[in-house]
Every structure is written in structure tokens, then in C-alpha cells.
Amino acid sequence: MDRAQKAAVVAELDQAFSDSGAVIVCHYAGLTVAEMQDLRLQMRNAGGTVRVAKNRLAKIALKDKDIEGMSKYLTGQTVLAYAEDPVAPAKVIEDFAKKNDKLVVLGGAMGKDILDRNGVSTLSKMPSREEVLAQIVGCIMAPGANLASAITAPATNIAGILKTMSEKEEA
């Protein structure tokens, strides 16, 4: 890898660290190519990326960032998982690690906070951004739906009474 390629990798990682909601660092020693492809596919479906990069280049990209402390996890064969949604990479990595013990979660970062193994596990249990937005929309829509049902309830009751009365008259 020549200097230009290294500079391009550092720039790509710098962009990833800046734009991502969360970055998770794992050891992947022993994973087969098929298992790694499966992990990449799952992460891509969740809107994230899995990247294997040289630790030295990743440390250069982390320099002078708020999450520079994450560089302590960059030893050995590491893989980086990141996405704009902070919960997505943690969920995918935790699910994959449960099925495959060769993937070892080391830690990561969310925003300006450095996460250890337990922090990543806790992050994976949080609702995703889409789930939170759905809950907010549900809370906003609930009063309107209740009001609409309260307004239409008397009309429904009257219609039921009229139907019952007409059935009694016919009988």
C-alpha cells in the first residue's frame, strides 16, 4: 500500500468516525470469508458498514478527535462496524456475536462517549431511531384518534339504536 492509498484510507476512516452515530470495534480472528460476508450483508441491511482497516491507520484517523480514547481497542485483528444510526451497528454485532463466538466485541464509541463491552451490549438493547420515531408519532396521533372516536361514538350509538328499533318494528 503506497502513501496515496494510505492517505485515502485515513480520509475514509476520518469521515466514517465523524459521520457515524456509533463505531464498534471487534476482533474477528477465525471468521471464515463466508461468515464475514454474512456480517457485512447484515450490517448493510441495517444501514451500516463493516470495515477492516490497519490499526495504525485507524489510530491516525482518530487523532485529535473526541473519541481518540477508542484507539486502546485497536490491537490485533480488528474490524470496525459503524452506521449513522447509533443503535444499528451494536444490534447487528451483538446478534452476530451471539451466533458466532469467533467475533469478540471489544468496545466502541457513540458520539463523544467511549463504550466498553458492556456499553455496546447496553446500546444494542436500545430502540432504533425508526422505533423511537414510530413511538413519538404514536404519542402525537393518540389524542387525535381518541378525539375522533369520541366524536363519532354518539353517531354510532344512535345508528345502533335506530337499527334495533327498526328490527323490533319489523318483527
Tens-place pLDDT, residues 76-132: 899 999 998 888 899 999 999 999 888 999 999 988 889 898 888 888 888 877 777
Measured between alpha carbons, how far is 126 from 22 in angstroms, rounded to an integer?
13
pTM, two decimals, is 0.72
If one looks up domain 3-126 in CATH, what number appears?
3.30.70.1730
Confidence (pLDDT) at 171: 67
Structural domain boundaries in the chain: 3-126, 127-171
Residue 26 pLDDT grade (very low, low, confident, very high; cuts 50, 70, 90): very high
Do residues 83 and 49 lie in contact, with contact meaning Cβ atoms separated by under 8 Å? yes
Instruction: Indicate if the pLDDT at residue 24 is higher than 90.
Output: yes
Return the HEC string of 63-119. CCCCCHHHHHHCCCCEEEEEECCCHHHHHHHHHHHHHCCCCEEEEEEECCEEECHHH
